[in-house]
Amino acid sequence: MTLFATTQTHWRSAGRSDLLSLCLVLLLIALMLASLTLGRYPLSLREVAHVFFMTIPFDATGDYADKPWVVTEIIRMPRILLVTICGMGLALSGATMQGVFRNPLVGPEIAGVTAGASLGGVSAIMLGWSTAATVGMAFGSGLLALFAAFSLAMVAGRSSTLALVLSGVVVGGFCSSITGLLQTMADPNTRLPSIMFWLLGSFVSATYDKVLVVSAITLFAGTLILLLRWRINLLSLGDADARALGLNVDLLRWVLMALVAVIVAAQVSVSGGIGWVGLIVPHLARLMVGPDHTRLLPVSAILGGIYLLVMDDIARSAAAEEIPIGFLTSIVGTPIFAFLFWRLRARSWTNA
């Protein structure tokens, strides 16, 4: 009877989780459609729907003849897709890191990848490279920072996650220092504004090429993380119990860290630094579906897309000039995280 009751409770909980996931997916799709109507050139849903079913409009000179089509297909669509993918990747990375370290205060930036990618992007801007070269430089620099952190941890003779965190802090601090030095050397009239705007995070320069690159990387790394999500549950039991169940704890943690780093480096390379998404969204997901990572990771990803999409809509619609989204996520994220931290102060995070 007890086994039957437990099984029944499990399936009921799984059913609620699946229903919640479906509702969140529908909400995300609705927000993406609504986001196409927002901006300095407002569109109705009817106009957006018309754009989807019309052919590419050209005039006699070969230029685009339909303004709603240009606004929807060329400007807003790639941006909305890029924002959604980046939000999903950051939230998935944050939930993974919190599970790996069994710590709700951990974010996906701790391995120094964000600082490394930022250094690469700033260096490319300083050199006047193209947008594609800036993306490639930022991504490569982020992965190089991860390699440096891994190497430093191994040289120290430790394979523990604490050694990797400390190595990430060292590498991230070094990269941040070089980035600050480059800012002081930048031309205040030409390069410095671009550097500052990029470091604060923005999706202004979104293109379909960037969407393709980020979606391919996020899909590959994110799928591997989701395939390993039940193993993250074993990590949450503690190292001794996980090893007793036959899990190679150190190897799994390093693999998950590498996958997270790849996702974060891809995001930073196309939009600059965007903080707090990977920190607060997993908390919200944990309140909805609990600590089981088989449910937590997918829900976190969907919520991350919703959250960052809402932030981007506010960033480009709330003021005459666009607000850097990294600045906005920090302002909004801080009080949300403070409230969640206060609410969960008396609980263990795995029981939230």
CA torsion sign for 182, 183, 184, 187 is positive
Contact criterion met (CB below 8 Å) for 252 and 228: yes
**Residues in Cβ contact with 41 at an 8 Å cutoff, skipping those fewer than 6 apart:** 67, 71
Residue 201: left if φ>0, alpha if ψ -120 to 50, beta else—which one? left
- pLDDT of the residue at 6: 44
Q: CA-CA distance, 209 to 213, in Å (whole number)?
A: 6
Q: What is the DSSP letter of 276?
A: S
In degrees and rounded to multiples of 5, residue 58 shows phi and psi of -125, 150
Contact criterion met (CB below 8 Å) for 58 and 64: yes
Helix (H, G, I), strand (E, B) or coil at 126: helix
Q: Where are the domains of the chain?
A: 15-351
- pLDDT of the residue at 58: 58
Q: CA-CA distance, 321 to 324, in Å (whole number)?
A: 9
- pLDDT of the residue at 146: 80
Query: Between the CA of residue 133 and those of 48, 121, 234, what are the distances in Å?
Result: 33, 9, 41
Contact criterion met (CB below 8 Å) for 113 and 264: yes
Q: Which of 310, 332, 314 is nearest to 323 (CA)?
A: 314
**Residues in Cβ contact with 247 at an 8 Å cutoff, skipping those fewer than 6 apart:** 231, 234, 235
Amino acid making up residue 15: G
- pLDDT of the residue at 257: 83
Q: Which of 271, 287, 332 is nearest to 89 (CA)?
A: 271
Domain at 15-351: CATH architecture? Orthogonal Bundle (1.10)
- Residue 85 tokens read as 């993918």
- pLDDT of the residue at 53: 77
pLDDT in tens, the chain (352 residues): 454 444 445 545 566 778 898 999 999 999 999 999 988 888 888 888 887 777 666 555 555 557 788 888 888 999 999 999 999 999 999 999 888 877 777 777 777 888 888 898 899 888 888 877 888 888 888 888 888 887 887 776 655 667 777 888 889 899 999 999 999 998 888 888 888 888 888 898 899 999 999 999 999 999 999 999 989 998 877 778 888 888 888 888 888 988 988 898 889 888 888 888 988 899 899 989 988 999 999 999 999 999 999 999 999 888 778 888 988 898 888 888 787 777 766 555 455 5
